[in-house]
Amino acid sequence: MRAIKGQDDIETGLRELLLIDPRLVPVAAVAGPLPLRLVEPGFAGLASIIASQVVSRASADAIWRRITATGPVTAEAYAALDADTVAGFGLSRAKAAALFNAAIAVREKTLYLDGLADLDTEEAMRQLTSLPGIGPWTAEVYLMFCCGHADVFPAADVALQAAVADAFGLPARPTGRQLAQIAQVWQPWRSVAVRLFWSYYGARTGRNVAPLV
């Protein structure tokens, strides 16, 4: 299994993508240098991804500041927080529950977030999405940005759909199923393609649409 461990891997992946699909050459010219966006695996990374799933980046940043203000973001610390403190973060009830469930699973050692980097993507996805409240998008982003999986593509991401529609001049934003089909050609570097299209969309709109990690 390919892995993204440093900036060199991003550059290698991009070079291969441009050879695989020349349509990406003008996309890369607009996007500019692609960020590595790789953080240590663990509960803090998963928590930041869940916190980023709100309407605006400003709201996500504010929620994350409140969470980190309580101290180190560990599973043990989060599981011990009282209900009033958690309510003050600004998370929805569903997201607060998802974080609590993840914290308990990590604390009780029924989920090893660090070890997901060593599993194949299908098995890692299965383990993450078995947690209540952890859907495919959350799991895919965690595997990309916390574990370095090189061939993950969150096709349900609305900004990613919009970016591909804009880049390829599509008449409408593709559905998740349609986008997943389009992305097949970008194997085995679909995680680099995600970075490419998010950067492209940011350059086109002036909005940072990538998760907090």
pLDDT in tens, the chain (213 residues): 789 999 999 999 999 999 999 999 999 999 999 999 999 999 999 999 998 887 678 888 899 999 999 999 999 999 999 999 999 999 999 999 999 999 999 999 999 999 999 999 999 999 999 999 999 999 999 999 999 999 999 999 999 999 999 999 999 999 999 999 999 999 999 999 999 999 999 999 988 877 766
Domain assignment present for residue 50? The answer is yes
The number of distinct structural domains making up the chain is 2
Query: Do 168 and 123 lie in a common domain?
Result: no
Q: What is the DSSP letter of 89?
A: T
> Can you say whether residue 157 is alpha, beta or left, with left for phi > 0 and alpha for psi between -120 and 50 degrees?
beta
Report the 10 Å Cβ neighbour count for 127. 18
Which residue pairs from 118-125 have beta carbons closer than 8 angstroms and sit at least 24 positions apart in sequence?
120/1, 121/1, 121/149, 121/151, 121/152, 124/149
- Verify that 68 and 126 share a domain, yes or no: yes
175 sits in the region (left: phi over 0; alpha: psi -120 to 50; else beta) called beta
End-to-end CA distance of the chain: 23
pTM > 0.85: yes
- Where residue 201 sits, what CATH number does that domain have? 1.10.1670.40
Whether residue 157 sits in one domain with residue 121: no
- Based on the domain organization, do 194 and 132 belong to the same domain? no
* Residue labelled with tokens 């574990």: 147
